[in-house]
Chains A and B, each alone.
Chain A
Amino acid sequence: MNRLHPRVRRLWAAQALLLAAVVAVAVFVAGRVVFDGRIPAGTPLAVFAVLALAGVVHAALRYRVWRYEIRDDAIYLERGVVTRVRTVVPFVRIQHVDSSRGPIERVVGLASVVVYTAGSRGADVTVPGLAPDGADDLRERLKRLAIRAEGEDAV
């Protein structure tokens, strides 16, 4: 079973901090405009602190749970802190594979791979927290495996 790159915790923590900051600013603005300064001055900061802490803890837990594995005939993923989700995506079902790098991912120096199927629910599966070279390798490997598996009946 492969684990993600440990730096992915920083990525998720950064995303959580960003979200917390946005919410805190919203609370600050709402406090000024809607409630006319009647809520305590420290509220936005408290909101930020709670969300940021929750986000950082969640990032750490998420990293501990995340696993993926390239098996003989399928890619297997295990993830989720509150709801634990285990997904099996057979190679024959892979429609196409992307590797992608978002802005924060580029800062942290990570990349992700997205696997698409024709399914209606688990239609795209993302493996985050890969080293950039690792992501490209994984993408190529999955591509070759998908071609070899030859989805003769993809839908």
Chain B
Amino acid sequence: MNLSPLTVPYRILQRGASVAVAAAVAVASGASALVGAIGGVAVAVVLVGVAVLALVGYELARYRRYEYELTADTFDIRSGVFARRNREIPLRRIQNVDIRRGVVQRLLGIAAVDFETAGGSETEAAIRYVSFEEAKRLQGEIRRLKRGAATAGEEAAEESELLFSLSNGDLLLVGAFAFDLRVPGILLFLFSGVGSVLAPYLPDSGGLVVLLGGVAAIAVGVALVSWIVGALAAIVNYYGFRLTRVGDELQYERGLFQRYDGSIPLDKVQTLTVTDDPLKRHFGYATLAVETAGYTPGQGQGQGQQSASVIPLASRDRVFALANDVEAFGTPEFERPPKRVRRRYAVRYGLALAVLAGALYGVEAFLAAGIPWYVPLSAAPLVPVAAHAKWKHRGYWLGDSHVVTRNGVLKRRTKVVPYYRIQTVIDSRTAFQRRWRVATVTADTAGSLSVAGHDAAAVDVDAETATRLRETLSDRLRTALAARKRATENGDPSPATADGGGDG
């Protein structure tokens, strides 16, 4: 198969425009110094003409020498004008097929297709560009072929079920909740620093009141702006969001200008993450993200992690129902850490405040700039509240076939890990944790979000519980794997076990 013929003019315009402008400017300015203004323009025109011809020739050659083919068990690409490259990707290894279309590409009816595998952080193969219909055909064909030759061609047998879609009203809600509580906090902190530096230059009369008022006004203003920007970004990202289940794959589409069509094979799911913050909790909403090995769907091309969600926003019950649809884990009943860790958190926050005030006091003693060093101490009454909240939102739960952990107050993450996806179990105890007889048990998976340090972890559980938990997790991993193996050997055709799965 070849690329879409429209690829040639599109790429020429896309790449040519910038090249031509840069070349014209550089050449005209350089040559005019040598052969005068008119001669310079002539030279520029000739050189740009040559460059354009070369570009057209190259793009034509690239188009003619680019071939791909879908065989029964591999996807082959032969490409390259000067250096030829033949690549074969086993279909079983393909995790996601992502289709992306920008505004111009949508007008032309072409699309970029990315194929992701578990290995490495890079896209395994990127096709630029095919018609959108062809892209959808590839996505569907790969899904069918992956399920095995026996079922190939049974198109009618594949029912597609709409799991979730965002109406315009829902979309506005997504935008409203795009507000991140940490942003104003960070801004307030930054501006308080600026304020302290500016303090000596402000008028003396009522300086403190003016200063605090100014800081508050600036913080509110910037928070408002960042909220609006965040809301707009979320709306642009999630416009027309639809999540469908086709056979044993999830498919999503979203985007106002740039449209994304992605696929997530259910049998490659490593972890589910339900995220919420105080605002969403108050109104009973949550967000769901799905991780597959080495790659989080929708994350490519400079998209932040927030766009990795499978459900941008839905009521809590709905999110848990859908999550259960993907991985049937049941309703978690979280076991909280022992109550004594609340004292630990209180001590920690108290110390942090004291250190902050102390540092400010030190600066004040050194500069005598009238810094209100005692301001952080006014947060002292919040310490027990914060400590309690931190304790309250922590927990873990062992289900029949999944472990579920929960951590975080401002951004609370509930992570669902199937036992058979656990890679290693890590029990770590810092010197401080040993003092409080608590430990952290982490269930490491091959997921990708965890690279950022948000593993599924039961934090600050009692030391004895931790030891038990560690052994339980590794036992359950073994039994879960054995059960899956038996199911495969007995020829159980369930999609979750049909595939040998991972990467060697």
Q: Are A117 and B501 in contact (CB under 8 A)?
A: no
Asked whether A33 is an interface residue with its Cβ less than 8 Å from the other chain, the reply is no
Given contacts A89-B424, A125-B424, contact A83 B481 (CB under 8 A): no
Q: Are A122 and B429 in contact (CB under 8 A)?
A: no
Given contacts A87-B424, A90-B424, contact A122 B474 (CB under 8 A): no
Residues of B within 8 A of A125 (CB): 424
Q: Are A119 and B445 in contact (CB under 8 A)?
A: yes
Contact check: which of B427, B444, B500 meets A121 at CB < 8 Å? B444
Q: Are B451 and A118 in contact (CB under 8 A)?
A: no
Asked whether B192 is an interface residue with its Cβ less than 8 Å from the other chain, the reply is no
Q: How far apart sit A87 and B442, CA to CA, in the bound complex (Å)?
A: 9
18 CB < 8 A contacts A-B = A80-B428, A87-B425, A87-B426, A88-B470, A88-B471, A89-B424, A90-B474, A93-B423, A117-B444, A118-B118, A118-B293, A120-B423, A120-B455, A121-B442, A122-B426, A154-B501, A155-B294, A155-B503
Asked whether B15 is an interface residue with its Cβ less than 8 Å from the other chain, the reply is no
Asked whether A86 is an interface residue with its Cβ less than 8 Å from the other chain, the reply is yes
Residues of B within 8 A of A84 (CB): 428-430, 434
Q: Are A83 and B430 in contact (CB under 8 A)?
A: yes
**Chain A residues with a Cβ under 8 A of chain B:** 73-74, 80, 82-90, 92-93, 95, 117-122, 125, 151-155
Say whether chain A's binding surface is mostly helix, strand, loop, or mixed.
Answer: loop
Question: How far apart are B413's CB and chain A's nearest CB, in angstroms?
Answer: 15
Contacts between the two chains (Cβ within 8 Å), count? 107
Nearest B residue to A115 via CB reads: B424
Given contacts A83-B430, A119-B444, contact A152 B485 (CB under 8 A): yes
Contact check: which of B450, B471, B478, B502 meets A154 at CB < 8 Å? B502
Contact check: which of B423, B426, B484 meets A85 at CB < 8 Å? B426
Nearest B residue to A93 via CB reads: B423
Q: Are B424 and A153 in contact (CB under 8 A)?
A: no
Question: How far apart are A70's CB and chain B's nearest CB, in angstroms?
Answer: 14
Residues of A within 8 A of B427 (CB): 85-88
Given contacts A88-B470, A118-B293, A120-B446, contact A153 B420 (CB under 8 A): yes
Asked whether B488 is an interface residue with its Cβ less than 8 Å from the other chain, the reply is yes
Given contacts A82-B430, A84-B429, A155-B446, contact A122 B423 (CB under 8 A): yes
Asked whether B83 is an interface residue with its Cβ less than 8 Å from the other chain, the reply is no
Q: How far apart sit A43 and B75, CA to CA, in the bound complex (Å)?
A: 65
Question: How far apart are A56's CB and chain B's nearest CB, in angstroms?
Answer: 20
